[in-house]
Each structure stands twice: as C-alpha cells, then as structure tokens.
Amino acid sequence: MTTLTDPPKETFRLSMLINDTRYRSLTFQAIAAIILALSFWYLLNNLFQNLAAAGLNISYSFFGESAGYDINQRLIEYDSQSSHGRAAVVGILNTLLVAFLACITATIFGVVAGVLRLSNNWLVSKLMAFYVEIFRNIPVLIWIIIIFTIMTAVLPAPRAFRGDEPAASMLFGSAAFTNRGVYIPGPWFSRPLFDVAVLNWLLVLAFLVGSFFGARALGRWATKVQEATGDRPVTWYFSLGIWLVPFLALMVIMGLSWEYPALKGFNFSGGIKIGGPLIALWFALSIYTGAFIAENVRAGIQAINKGQTEAAASLGLRPGRVMNLVVLPQALRVIIPPLISQYLNITKNSSLAIAVGYADITATLGGITLNQTGRAIECVLLLMLFYLTISLLISAFMNVYNSSIKLKER
C-alpha cells in the first residue's frame, strides 16, 4: 500500500545504460570486456586455422622424448637420456637459483652503497657515487661477459692442481677455484629419513622456518614485557637456542657428512660445483641491480625528515644505531615499492644466461629444446607463462611485506 508521500517507483529503461551515471560506467566496462574477449577469440581462432592449414597442431608430447644434451649446472639428477620435460625442470631450478642469489646479494650491495653514499666521508661518498654511475649505465650483458672473461683468464685450470708441486693449491685443502668454476665441500646425509634427497632438505627447511617463527614469537613476548615493565628481558641466548638446538639435533639424527672435491682425470669431482657461468651471471646481476637499489635506498633515507635523526642523536644514540633503529625502518616505506621492480628485473634479466652458457629455462626450453623439436609456439607459451607466474609471485610476496610495514592509522 502506498501513500501520498511515497515517491513514484522508477522503471528501468535501456536508455539508462547510457544516460544514467549509475549504469554508464558499467555499460562501458561490459562493452570493453566483450570487445577484448572477441579479440582474443579472433586471434586464437586465426592461430588454430593457420596451424591446421600448415598441417600442425599444438602438442606437448615432446616433453616425454629424450633430450639428448647435457647440462653442466643442475640441482637435480639429469643426463643426456633424460626427457625434455626434466631438462625444462632443470632450467627452471637454475633460473630460480640465480634469481634468488642475485636478489639477496644485490640487496646487500644496494643497501651498503646507498647508505655509504650519504656518508660524511668525502672519499667514501664519491666512491659509492662512482660505483652507482658506472655500473647502472653500462648494459648488464656487457658486465656478464666481462666477469666471465676475467674468471676464465685469471683463475687457474684444473690441471694446475696436479703434480707433486702444483702451480695452484686448494683453499684449506677443501675448496678449489678454477677457470671452470668453484668446487666446495657438499653436505650429504648418512642416515636420511627419506629415500628422496629433496624431501630430506625440505625437512631441514621446515625446521629452519619453525625456528624463525619461534624466534619471532620470543621477540614479541620480550616486547610485551618491555611495554609492561619498561625493562626488556635478555633473550639472545634463547633465540640462539631456538635456532641451533633443533637444527643440530636434526643434523645428528640424519648423520650430516661432507663430501670433498678431488681432482680426478681432467677435472674435479665430488662436492658442490658452482660453475663459472653461474658465478658470472650471479655477480653481474648483483652489482648491476645493486646500483639501482642503492639509489632507491638513498632516496628513501633522504625522504625521512632530518628532525628524526636530530631527535635520535639528542637521546645519545650513535650514528650507526640511529640509521639502523630510526632512519632505515621508516625509509623502508619508500624503498620497498621500487625494490619490487628491481627484483622483477633480476628475474627477467637472468634470461641473458645463454650468453655465457648457463642453462636456465630460456637456454633449455626456449633454446635447445625448441630447436630440436621445432615446437616454437608451445615452448614460447610456456616461457611466457613461467616468467609471468614468477613475476606475479614476487610482486604478491613483496606487496604483502610492503603492507606489513606501512603506517597503521587509527
């Protein structure tokens, strides 16, 4: 039942999709989505028609065929008789390895250079400015080739370690630095809990992750006690125990042992090999991207009001403590967003590994496998999917961290 004060009910008309501001934006978005979907359908339909006309079809059955090529640097078992699928997995792991290592070292280089560039010491400041301007303005491919060339020219060949009076000797009798790479002792378990080696290392990683969260919980408890009493309890020995006791106990249970490299034939065998191409790519990506990160760090520090530094200094804090406890924690809100882009650049620039013969995913799936099988469309699509997935995961993780350190407003 309606009354005289009730407004008349408005009926929907098609013209309202354009004339009414409540529906206009939705209408345009729907039209754009339909056009985009039709465009994708047209492109895919055109692709399949052209493949059918050429007598081709999209198939990934080649992943089960024998690869027929060797990969020197690998994290899992692989030989020339393994499948193309396993070769692609080796390439993926190699890409993730160099990207992970380069992100860590580039961050260290960038933070150190960014902080020191603001030093009151004129020489240190200018040296860091020289590093930044030189390394970030020369393409990373050139640095990869330069570092690889220096390694192969300066370091001794494995044959220099042979003989009663060798020209070169192993460091502490356990590590060898050669022009083919670095050989260091490798850990292995004499009493593994699982038959698959990867599962044993995942268990070790799980223990370390548990220790990390345990140490964080201890730190939060100490903070609560400090807020309640004004006195922070000493917890460093408990933190050390949380990290070491479970880890050492697990190592004893699993029988941690070490395999040392030894010269056999024309090269070293045993232990862990860090190949020259991996070192060249790792170090080049680190120093190149570290120069960009240094500028991000410098900008973040300079974005903090000088009053913060002066207030901390007035409390008697030394310059190093002021930087670690006051300036850098606030500067992270400015540093993290551009840092995400630098991590993405490291991951994508790792595809230049083919220049020095490092078998990443671009060299295996997008290189040798593509040339042997002729499946260009399949290989390129998978390459695009891999880099897209890794980039989105890095962005998601870093955005979560960025949200955790931003200012919390009431």
Among 274, 273, 283, CA closest to 146: 283
Among 269, 281, 260, 258, CA closest to 356: 281
Render 37-94 in DSSP notation, one character per residue: HHHHHHHHHHHHHHHHHTT-----GGGGSB-----SS-SS---TTSBHHHHHHHHHHH
**What pLDDT is recorded for position 167?**
78
Q: What is the mean pLDDT of the chain?
A: 86
The span from the CA of 229 to the CA of 122, in Å, is 44
Predicted confidence (pLDDT) per residue in 7-29, tens digit: 666 676 767 767 777 777 788 88
The span from the CA of 189 to the CA of 258, in Å, is 8
Burial label, 270 (beta-carbon count in 10 A; 0-12, 13-18, 19+)? middle
Among 127, 134, 117, 104, CA closest to 298: 117
**What pLDDT is recorded for position 346?**
94
Weakest-pLDDT range from 60-64, 162-166, 385-389:
162-166
**What pLDDT is recorded for position 410?**
54
**∠362-74-358 over CA atoms, to 5°?**
40
The span from the CA of 5 to the CA of 11, in Å, is 18
Structure tokens at 14: 């098609």
Structure tokens at 62: 């080649």
Residues in the chain: 410
Predicted confidence (pLDDT) per residue in 322-349, tens digit: 888 888 888 888 888 889 999 999 999 9
Predicted confidence (pLDDT) per residue in 111-124, tens digit: 999 989 988 888 99
Predicted confidence (pLDDT) per residue in 156-201, tens digit: 888 888 877 787 788 887 888 888 888 889 888 888 888 877 788 8
Q: Do residues 158 and 151 touch, judged by C-beta distance below 8 A?
A: no
Render 92-161 in DSSP notation, one character per residue: HHHHHHHHHHHHHHHHHHHHHHHHHTT-S-HHHHHHHHHHHHHHHTS-HHHHHHHHHHHHHHHSPPGGGG
Taking the model in full, what pTM does it have? 0.82
